Structure 1
Amino acid sequence: MKYSADVLDSIRWNEEGLVVVVAQDYNTGEVRMVAWANREALLKTLETGFAHYYSRSRRSLWKKGETSGQLQRVLQVRVDCDGDAVLYIIHQEQGVACHTGERNCFFRSIDGSKVTKPLPFEVLARLQEVIEDRLLKKPQDSYTVKIYMEGEDRILQKLGEEAVESLLALKGGDPQRIKEELSDLLYFMVLSLTTKGVSVAEVMEELSRRFKTSE
């Protein structure tokens, strides 16, 4: 991974030679975990493309997922404006980042409850993960599996029907119905993408490319 020596040198390591690292999921945007890195760990990350951190308790370098298989492929590394924090943009292998078995380390709310709902910007990518899981495991009571087993034409028929219903809802102007119908449409869009092996992230990348073109 390419990097600027000047940017690397701008990092403000603390008195222990460490900097905070935030790992953010490339597909969903969720924060997966926070850890520490020293210069060696950061360089190892840049050299290998896999997340490396520094354990303060063990006083040693560690590669995320080396024993569990829950590796983090690092797609980008960013440094914050003050140089005292680093951001890893990652792809999380096996979908689990936390040692507790949770998908991320921030599953506890300050009120003591467990966080179960994704934030709005996570929803489409998380929906695709659920669809992929359903199609892999094929539970008998799954609506997704039922539609999938009826074949491609049935999926595309439903996609078309939901598109028409969305148009009618938009024409009618009722906000609640618009939300409901477009939610159905988005579900069938993501299901269609999944059956074709196209990720939500790839569609977002194309939109991002167009943003750049239109600047």
Structure 2
Amino acid sequence: MNIDGVKFDEKGLIPAVVQDANTKEVLTLAYMNRESLLKSAETGETWFFSRSRNELWHKGATSGNTQKIVEMKLDCDQDAIVVLAEPAGPACHKGTVSCFEERVYGEESGLSDYEILNTLEKVIEEREKTRPEGAYTTYLFEKGVDKILKKVGEESAEVIIAAKNRDKDELKWEAADLIYHLMVLLREQELPFSEVLKVLNKRHEKKEPASE
């Protein structure tokens, strides 16, 4: 990694904003020096410099909550860096997904657009593993792929009908049902939703239209 252009501050540090590569949620703000930046690039996992302990530290070395680096980008002034990473666990030492959990301004607006999908995927995964009695998701997994496929087909048809009827209220509910059943299918096929997003991202980068 060529870091000749990186502008470290007078203490030899550069702020590093760690962002979930899939959800784009900001996970933490830490600092890197030249050595930790190079080690991050060499190992593919985040290394930082602790200003309080005055030493390097490897994220997840003791907790196991490592961060696999997907990409690192400098800002236009080359004095700040964004690290896109895939976390193996909570980013915060308090056990939360992100260090930025405490709201200081603005109204509560619920989960972000991707967070609700990420949460739904985790709930479906948990349902498959634990199979709680009486849960609809349990019913789908116990009936198997044919039942799941049938539901995906039915919900697709209901989306089409709602759209043909120009009924936006009906359409949003039917679309939500379709997304849920599609994510159940992805789980049954052991295909993470993030893999679907990667395909969309590649198409966006290449400016390719969706397949017909």
User: Aligned match of 1:129 in 122, 126, 129?
Assistant: 122
User: Aligned match of 1:98 in 92, 97, 111?
Assistant: 92
Report the aligned-residue RMSD. 2.0
Retained in 2: the 8 A contact 1:69–1:93? Answer: yes
Name 1:77's counterpart in structure 2.
72
The number of residue pairs the alignment matches comes to 208
Query: How far apart, in 1, do the equivalents of 2:83 and 2:46 lie?
Result: 8
Query: How far apart, in 1, do the equivalents of 2:38 and 2:162 lie?
Result: 53
Query: How far apart, in 1, do the equivalents of 2:35 and 2:134 lie?
Result: 50
Name 1:152's counterpart in structure 2.
145
Retained in 2: the 8 A contact 1:26–1:89? Answer: yes
Q: Is residue 191 of structure 1 aligned with residue 176 of structure 2? A: no
TM-superposed deviation, 1:27: 2.1
Name 1:13's counterpart in structure 2.
8
TM-superposed deviation, 1:145: 2.1
Cα distance, 1:197–1:116 mapped onto 2, change above 3 Å: farther
Query: How far apart, in 2, do the equivalents of 1:103 and 1:125 lie?
Result: 12
Name 1:109's counterpart in structure 2.
103
Query: How far apart, in 2, do the equivalents of 1:50 and 1:44 lie?
Result: 8
**TM value normalised by structure 1:** 0.88
Amino acid at match of 2:117: L
Partner deviation per Cα, 1:52-74 (whole Å, 9 max, x = no partner):
11111001100001101111111
Question: SS of the residue aligned with 1:9?
Answer: coil
Name 1:163's counterpart in structure 2.
156
Cα distance, 1:110–1:160 mapped onto 2, change above 3 Å: same
Partner deviation per Cα, 1:64-100 (whole Å, 9 max, x = no partner):
0110111111111111111121111111113x11111
**TM value normalised by structure 2:** 0.90
Query: How far apart, in 1, do the equivalents of 2:21 and 2:74 lie?
Result: 16
Residue ranges of structure 2 left out of the alignment (5+ in a row) = none
Retained in 2: the 8 A contact 1:28–1:126? Answer: no
Query: How far apart, in 1, do the equivalents of 2:42 and 2:77 lie?
Result: 24
Question: SS of the residue aligned with 2:81?
Answer: strand
Query: How far apart, in 1, do the equivalents of 2:22 and 2:126 lie?
Result: 16
Q: Which moved more, 1:53-62 or 1:145-154?
A: 145-154
Query: How far apart, in 2, do the equivalents of 1:159 and 1:191 lie?
Result: 9
Taking only the aligned residue pairs, the percentage that are identical comes to 38
Would you identify which runs of 4 or more consecutive aligned residues in structure 1 move more than 4 Å? none
Query: How far apart, in 2, do the equivalents of 1:28 and 1:207 lie?
Result: 14
